[in-house]
Chain A
Amino acid sequence: MLTFNLLVAVCAAYVGFLFLVAFAAEKRARRGRAAWLRSPLVYTLALSIYCTGWTFYGAVGYAARSGLEFVTIYLGPTVIMIAWWALLRKLVRIGRTQRVTSIADLVSSRYGKSTALGVLVTLLCIVGTTPYIALQLQSVTLAFAVFSPTEAVDMNGTALWVALGLALFTIVFGTRNLDVNERHHGVVIAIAVEAVVKIVALVAVGAFVVWSVAGGTGDILRMIEASPIAEYRVQPERWVTLTFLAGAAFLCLPRMFHVLVVENSDERHLATAAWAFPLYLLLISLFVIPIAVAGLAVMPEGANPDLFVLTVPLEFDREGLAMLSFLGGFSSATSMVIVAAIALSTMVSNHIVLPIWLSAGQGGATVSGDVRNVVLLARRMSIAVVLGLGYLYYRFSGGGEALAAMGLIAFVGVAQILPALIGGIFWRGATRIGAGLGVSIGFAVWIYTLFLPSFGVGDVLSAATFEAGPYGLALLRPQALFGLDGMDPLVHAVFWSLALNTGAFVLGSLLSFPHPLERLQGATFVNIYRYSDSARGWGRSFVEAEDLLVMAQRIIGPMEAQALFVSVAAEQGKEGYLPDVTPEFLERLERELSGSVGAATAHAMLGQITGGVTVSVEDLMRVADETAQMMEYSSQLEAKSEELQRTARQLREANAKLTTLSIQKDAFLSQISHELRTPMTSIRAFSEILMDGDQMNRADRRKYSTIIHDETLRLTRLLDDLLDLSVLENGQVTLNEAPATVGAVLDRALAAIESRAEPGSLKIRRERAREDLPIYTDADRLAQVFINIVSNAQKYCDAEAPELRIAVQEIGGSVAVDFIDNGSGIPKASQALIFEKFARLTDQRAAGGAGLGLAICREIMLRLGGSVDYLPGQGGAAFRVTLPRAEAMAAQ
């Protein structure tokens, strides 16, 4: 009979053996002879921490209670390993290139190094893992109890000792050193050994059951047929849910992520694991049903089926086999706890302790050595805390059925990370807000619908809450959320937590806007293969000095680059342009390059070309910053030069305006000069003729005197017009506005023309119908306009019987006075010109005007608030004078 003490001694020896194995592995690894330690086989075996004590013992119990449903726990990872191999490869690639240390780190890093997300995921993992650790402690203590039916085993004491032992092992091997990649050779090799022990143990028990208890394979199959296990019906929704859940847990459980991604040393190991690990799972599950069937057949009624793996060999007095089985279970439990503790402590120290310590103001001034100590201390304390929590949970939950169900419940908890994880590596649009919302909501729903109810009715949640919902809100019943009744509680919780989680994640991502860092990280993670196309790993690539020279020439110029390379080569005692690529040389080159392109860019470029330095996100961000600064600077320059150009353009425009004005002024002066000199020429010529013309006859004398007189009048008129125009143009004119009618003003104008000139041949025909239209205007000025237009008609109308029609009409609130003659009119090309100064069209001699008449008319009408326009298409020359109608006068 195995005694309790012997059992303890065996356990101690086994743990001691593991210590030795781990220690030896660490030693070899330090000497750099760890190649076999990092083989695909070891990686695959390490993955077997998926099979914990719960799987080792509990699978048989699960089968005894629910038939084949236990298979789903193995089916999930198998599906992932085989069908979602690409997903795993991407995760591993991201983990390796981004130096991810835990699942919390990956999620936080993906979403812009979000501290809050890191803390959230860490907390979720702690809550999800603590019961799991408690479960392992329970399985070990139960196993102890099986071997000592007679002695009263101090269960809690045993659990405490196991927890302490595990804490010690984990601290010793899990925090020996601070590896940048968080790889632990000793631990990995130890759990690989444990993986072998547990599969050997389970296969041995299975073989014993099949060929010793039963009479061979045929016999056991008949027993299975006859057992109640065969009668269990598969529940499709539970199968699908559990398979999915197991797959999700395989990815999201902290310890699985740690072994799968963090401890992975070579991507190609994944290819081996993709077939080897499912094979391991097949082997470990092969004998579950036979052991369960045999247990049900040979063990007394009421025996705990969870312990059949131990109790069946003991029933047949196979103590050696039982001991092996015990060690298998012990291995399963301890390996899980060790890796889980390492993974969790990494998260706790990196995402909770260090940020607090750094923000407490200690970080800035300390040297790196201090930080290392702080990190190590934080790790060790975190391990102790994690295991302490597991122990406390075990103590206070009191073991039993509640704990046994905990495995699946923990699965659902950590599965809440899945949407943010998958979304993060496949969807660039996923944002921090979305991930935070999704994980929080999923976490909350999980706690409410599954975790709290798992303590049983009346413990945390009252019976009333279960029956009618909190505060009587039936929609919020924890196991029938939103009225979804009659579902398996687990399926119900998985459905709601993940549906709401994913919904919030997608919606939050779509509605929020990512930070630059988030965007950059998103792109890096989603397109990880583009950012790191090396499956060969760093360091193996060999950088040629020539490549560096090519790059340096482009950046600092050929002469400078060659001079630098020659001088470095000379310092190394070499001739020519190509020095050996030493770290010192690279550092110097980087300094030289920084001068040209900025430190970050130089670092990134050298990193790219040597392949020895990872280009971190911070590097890229700094590159982006520098580029942004340069762009800002150049855009400032651009703005300046634009301003200058604008000023220059304004100056040019002003200058052109002045030039135009000057040209116009010159042209005007030239015109005036011509207009003044022409009459003066006549006056001077005839004065001289008269002066020396003694023998001139009387008629000639009279004729020439008359010419002089007329030309003098012409000069006076010209000067009057010029002064008039000048006054009008300067706006200095004073208007004497008063009520009047068009007819009255026309009367005045025509009378003035008649009195002034000899009665011409022009016949004026007035259409008097609307001449009584009231206007409010300066009658003298308006008459001046009318006189100008009528006298133009007198001068220029070329008809046989010249006739001018004057018609008054009202057009849209304005008064229009049209002057239309029956001549040939003004050519279309000249119509635009006639209102310009000195714009005489025909032979001016006949007209005798200075060419300012219409220009003056235009200015007058402008002052009177009206206009004068040429009216084309009327047969002869036609002018329309438009005036505002006086409404007030119309009323009188």
Chain B
Amino acid sequence: MGGRVLLIEDEPNIIEAIRFILSRDGWAVDVHSDGATAIDAVARRSPDVIILDVMLPNRSGYDILADLRAAEGTRDLPVLMLTARGQKQDREMAERYGASRFMTKPFSNSDVLTSVRELVGS
């Protein structure tokens, strides 16, 4: 398949794991760890899909998502939302802010892979 994935996440071990899983499947994975500059990173990398963590240093994932949905070029960009606070209202928040898909940590590797594939394929 192949395509560009931008992973916005700050936990080193999780970055390592996701990078490994997606690279093995042929995806080019870019990583960005700071919430404040995430939008710039999206503009610079122009990814096919974004994996976005909620709890980021300096800026919340929801705010980043809201900005992406408000901007012309990224309105329809597929975003896979990840959160470690797997509560009901987090899922609702993600849907309200316009996440394409929502997953709670810990996740299954195959689910991540399937989700990314489906998001880019659609």
Contact = CB atoms under 8 A, between A and B. Distances in A.
A842 to B, nearest CB: 8
A711 B17 CA distance: 13
Contact of A843 (B10, B14, B108): B10
B114 interface: no
Interface in B1-47: 10-14, 16-18, 20-21, 33
A805 interface: no
B21 A685 contact: yes
Q: Which of B11, B14, B106, B108 has the most CB of A within 10 A?
A: B106
Q: Which of A673, A683, A711 has the most CB of B within 10 A?
A: A673
A685 B106 contact: yes
B106 A673 contact: no
Contact of A711 (B13, B57, B108): B13
Interface in A671-705: 673-674, 677-686, 688-689
Nearest to A673: B85
Interface residues of A, number: 21
A886 B55 CA distance: 46
Contact of A686 (B12, B17, B87): B17
Q: Which of A680, A685, A686, A844 has the most CB of B within 10 A?
A: A685
B84 A843 contact: no
B11 A845 contact: yes
A707 interface: yes
A673 B13 contact: no
A616 interface: no
B14 A685 contact: yes
B11 A674 contact: no
A670 interface: yes
Interface in A638-692: 670, 673-674, 677-686, 688-689
A680 B105 contact: yes
Given A685-B17, A843-B57, A678 B109 contact: no
A682 B109 contact: no
Contacts of B85: 670, 673-674, 677
Contacts of A688: 108-110
A678 B84 contact: yes
A677 B103 CA distance: 12
A688 B17 CA distance: 10
Contacts of B104: 677
B18 A685 contact: yes
B77 to A, nearest CB: 24
A644 to B, nearest CB: 36
A707 B13 contact: yes
Contacts of A678: 11, 14, 84, 105
Given A681-B105, A684-B107, A843-B57, A673 B14 contact: no
B21 to A, nearest CB: 7
Contacts of A689: 17, 20-21, 109
Q: Which of A681, A686, A843 has the most CB of B within 10 A?
A: A681
Given A843-B10, A843-B57, A845-B12, A681 B20 contact: no
B24 to A, nearest CB: 9
Nearest to A714: B13
Contacts of A684: 106-108
A679 B17 CA distance: 12
Given A707-B16, A845-B12, A685 B109 contact: yes
Given A673-B84, A689-B21, A843-B57, A681 B10 contact: no
Contacts of A674: 55, 84-85
A3 B18 CA distance: 157
Nearest to A846: B12
B113 to A, nearest CB: 11
A684 B108 CA distance: 7
A670 B109 contact: no
Interface string A708-733: 00010000000000000000000000
Contacts of A679: 13
B82 to A, nearest CB: 9
B61 to A, nearest CB: 12
A681 B84 contact: yes
B28 to A, nearest CB: 19
Nearest to B112: A685
Nearest to B87: A670
Contacts of B109: 685, 688-689
Nearest to B13: A682
A681 B16 contact: no
Contacts of B86: 673, 677
A710 to B, nearest CB: 8
Contacts of B13: 679, 681-682, 685-686, 707, 711
Nearest to A703: B16
Given A674-B55, A843-B10, A682 B17 contact: yes
A673 B21 contact: no
Interface in A823-845: 842-845
A685 B51 CA distance: 15
B106 A677 contact: yes
B57 to A, nearest CB: 6
A677 B84 contact: yes
Nearest to B17: A685
A684 B11 CA distance: 14
Nearest to A692: B109
A670 B107 CA distance: 17
A707 B12 CA distance: 10
A844 B9 CA distance: 12
B87 A683 contact: no
A615 B42 CA distance: 93
B106 A681 contact: yes
Interface in A395-451: none
Contact of A683 (B10, B11, B106): B106
A380 B96 CA distance: 107
Interface in A267-307: none
Nearest to B105: A681
Nearest to A685: B17
Interface in B64-122: 84-87, 104-110
A887 B120 CA distance: 73
Contacts of B17: 681-682, 685-686, 689
Contacts of A842: 57
A679 B109 CA distance: 15
A844 B13 CA distance: 12
B11 A677 contact: no
A678 to B, nearest CB: 5
A300 to B, nearest CB: 135
Nearest to B12: A845
A838 B114 CA distance: 34
A77 B32 CA distance: 116
Contacts of A677: 84-86, 104-106
B107 A681 contact: yes
B91 to A, nearest CB: 13
Nearest to A666: B87
B87 A673 contact: yes
B106 to A, nearest CB: 4
Q: Which of B18, B55, B85, B87 has the most CB of A within 10 A?
A: B85
Interface string A846-862: 00000000000000000
Nearest to A841: B57
Contacts of B10: 843-845
Contacts of B21: 685, 689
16 contacts: A673-B84, A673-B85, A673-B86, A677-B84, A677-B104, A680-B105, A681-B105, A682-B17, A684-B108, A685-B13, A685-B18, A688-B108, A689-B17, A707-B13, A845-B11, A845-B12
Interface of B: 10-14, 16-18, 20-21, 33, 55, 57, 84-87, 104-110
Given A674-B55, A680-B106, A842-B57, 20 more contacts: A673-B85, A674-B85, A677-B86, A678-B14, A678-B105, A680-B105, A681-B11, A681-B13, A681-B107, A682-B11, A682-B17, A685-B14, A685-B106, A688-B108, A688-B109, A843-B33, A844-B10, A845-B10, A845-B11, A845-B12
**Top 4 A-B residue pairs of the complex, sorted by shortest distance between their CB atoms:** A685-B17, A682-B13, A677-B84, A684-B106
